Structure 1
């Protein structure tokens, strides 16, 4: 009887030990799973915050680029490289927001590259400001010298030979300054688009068009805002050059000739506009009246004695 009781106690103790062991195992597994879930939530939150910080940095760089493009344009500099950089930045921003596998390391490298390019452009912009300031100061000095010379006719006669070289130099510098100021105030097309219009009036945008679907060609662009450009009537000439290098023209459809660089130059079409300095859109719709041959066509734009821009499209 005593042996049976001892055996029963042993079984009970073994059962308790097994139950405690199982409880410990299950507790460990639950704690471990909860910890992994918490770590995953923390990781997702950190990744979201990093994405938002990256997007904020890209927005800041975009704003800096806009400011530099505006200032370089006002100073008469070239903005093609800055505009290309802005277009790449917009593509990176779009990729960032649509990416399912966001890589912080990849975008940090891109941001460092953009920041380095901005520093380079700051140096170029400082040089452009300096050159414009020098030209303006020279112009003021030269105007002052000219005024003094004009007010002293008798004195001018006695020093005419000594100042002949200086006067010539003044004229050359004034001409160069005038040309730079005029160039800075020239119209600046941007955001080009080319559309093919078929015989039913349906438009198709792009850079390549099938010949049988092209009845008319529409070239549209915006005129950049420029505080140096006067709000007045402007004449914009459009030259469409075919794949052989010949200018497409037909006097019956409004083609003609204008003076460019001292030479008579044929244009395809022209348009008189009132420049409003508001980013207005200008459109040329040209009906050739015959089929377009296959190849690449260039579209050149002229105004105020300058070639102000160009684009192209392909007929296939």
Structure 2
């Protein structure tokens, strides 16, 4: 402010108001002091805002990480459950092949199914941490390896069974062939034996039958009348047979009456070619293949009847031959 040294009478003199300037200074000083008091509050609010922002960011990151982790765990659980399903399907497929498993393979299958149930129970738990999930993953890998070995063993067993079946069929075919061959040989042998039996059977080369009347002093005469006949005398010779065994043979006699009835006094039975037959009488002869003449006398009938009598001779190998005589 400028002051004039000389003033006119009517001049108005302006003097600075010291009081006004002093009031402004006080106001400015008060403003500065109030501003100084407000600074900590401002800093506090800024800090609080920053802390809240940091907390929000922290929880956002944490929640996001936790959510991603839960999503990952859920995805891995689903994958492991799918793997368990595949393992169980593989077990079911092998089981349906109806193989006769060894005790060891049965135990492996039972253990695998028990392990599958245990792992399913673990995976259904909602609070699986990373360590437990990793352990479950390792156990599933071990289970997969065990089932893989089990499937390989089953495949080997199946191959071995196929080889055994093939070998069995081959042996069965061999046995069938051998049995068939043995049966053929047996039939051939039977035929040969039958032929030998036929070839060794005794056959008559001649036979002559006479009706005999017994007289006093042991005299005999040949008869043709039935009423005067006391017995029949059968004379025969046996054809030469070098194959026949030289031995004593039983000769069975069948006497058939003129009416066709077989004359029997007792129920005598013999067998020839597997057939049982009745006979009238039996005697023994010694065969020596020398062509000699054999004689058999039969006096079984009380009264001979007119007509033709048939005499048939047998051994146990078959018919030797037959002859007839007619009585009047």
- Normalised by the shorter chain, which TM-score bucket? 0.3 to 0.5
Scaled by the length of structure 1, what TM-score is found? 0.46
Question: How high is the TM-score relative to the length of structure 2?
Answer: 0.44
Structure with the greater alpha carbon radius of gyration: 2
